[in-house]
Amino acid sequence: MVLRYVSHVERHRKPVIALLQVAALCLLTSCSRRPPLPSWNNGPAKTAILSFVEGVTREGGREFVPRRQRIAVFDGDGTLWSEQPMPPQLAFVFDRIKELGPRHPEWKQTEPFKSVLEGDIRGALARSEDSMDELLAAVSAGMTAEEFDGAVTGWLATARHPLLNRRYTDLVFQPMADLIAYLQESGFETIVVSRCAVDFIRPMAARTYRIAPMRVVGGGLNLAYEVRGERPALFVVPTPDPVGAKAGKPESIQRSIGQKPILAVGNSDRDREMIEWVTSGAGSRLGMIVHHTDEVREWAYDRGSSIGRLNEALSEAEAKKWLIIDMKRDWKVVHPFQQ
């Protein structure tokens, strides 16, 4: 009888364990669930996000998307953190130029170095957003990838935003942190896409949104593997990667992720192609534009701004019914310290 019972247990061991595991999993997830998007006001944007995520995660439903295809891509500057009056990597570059200036007498004659060294940030800005990859290469040539990462990490720990006197890592958007947490809990991979500053964005995204380095994709420093005196490392080449710098966001995403995401969030014309691509084709898809409309808690800018211009992408968003997030209307708080 005992033996029969044992063999009975043995025979049923696997299903019993499976059942216990399901119960354990339910316990694990349900206990920690809070209502999603707490820092979002109730309204059309929040409703649209909740309805999209509920649709793609409802098994058996018409909108269901299997877990392996739930990829969400986010622009960085202006989408995950403030980018006015200049994105953080540009502030980093300007600080590095001032630091390295004494060792580069030729910079006194070359723009935008000259303007930075003379303290004319407005003049430097006018010439630098488009040449970010050249600037990053110039201020990091000869460093190893690890040294560059260390320099960024050190800078993030001490540098302060010139107008708000806050650390750059404090200037993230609480509603985006809530959105990313909600998506991750719903089985999404959340990916940050940068045009040319991936090596800067990685330490930034790790410290602010706990996004692992491999989930930050795009162009970056031009690196070459070399063994210098028994020490193998990746060294920054003084000239930017000619192909990487040209590549658009859809190209970078396909190269790194190998599949088309189903959700894309951006805030400027530089994100237009990415959102256009991600929202095209079959199945449930969502494109979102963060519209900076809050001149009190952050900044208000769009079609006319030199940093983060939102012109064509705003028109396309209106025409194609992408979800436009009105920062002033839709966000209960902007930065975490405003909570």
Residues in contact with a second copy by CB under 8 A are: 17, 20-21, 23-25, 27-28, 31-32, 68, 71, 145-146, 189, 191, 198-199, 202, 212-214, 216-217, 220, 223-225, 227, 231-234, 241-244, 248, 250-251, 254-260, 273, 276-277, 280
Least spacing, CB of residue 258 vs a second copy, in Å: 3
The letter for the amino acid at 320 is K
d(CA 269, CA 331): 22
Per the rule left: phi > 0, alpha: psi between -120 and 50, beta: everything else, 248 is beta
Cross-strand bridge partners of residue 172? 81
- Comparing CB distances to a second copy, the nearer of 76 and 250 is 250
Residues with Cβ within 8 Å of 175's Cβ and at least 6 positions away in sequence, in order, are 37, 39, 40, 330, 331, 332, 333, 334
Least spacing, CB of residue 243 vs a second copy, in Å: 4
- Comparing CB distances to a second copy, the nearer of 203 and 308 is 203
Say how many C-beta atoms besides its own lie within 10 A of residue 237's C-beta. Answer: 15
Say how many C-beta atoms besides its own lie within 10 A of residue 77's C-beta. Answer: 26
Least spacing, CB of residue 217 vs a second copy, in Å: 8
Least spacing, CB of residue 34 vs a second copy, in Å: 12
| Beta strands per DSSP E along 63-106 | 71-75
Q: 């986010």: which residue's tokens?
A: 74
Q: 């793609």: which residue's tokens?
A: 56
Least spacing, CB of residue 77 vs a second copy, in Å: 18
- Comparing CB distances to a second copy, the nearer of 71 and 327 is 71
Least spacing, CB of residue 224 vs a second copy, in Å: 7
Say how many C-beta atoms besides its own lie within 10 A of residue 209's C-beta. Answer: 22
- Comparing CB distances to a second copy, the nearer of 177 and 223 is 223
- Comparing CB distances to a second copy, the nearer of 125 and 317 is 317
Element (H, E) at 290: strand 286-291
- Comparing CB distances to a second copy, the nearer of 46 and 272 is 272
Least spacing, CB of residue 297 vs a second copy, in Å: 31
- Comparing CB distances to a second copy, the nearer of 274 and 327 is 274
Measured between its terminal Cα atoms, the distance across the chain in Å is: 65
- Comparing CB distances to a second copy, the nearer of 215 and 292 is 215
Least spacing, CB of residue 75 vs a second copy, in Å: 16
- Residue 21, helix vs strand vs coil: helix
d(CA 110, CA 145): 26
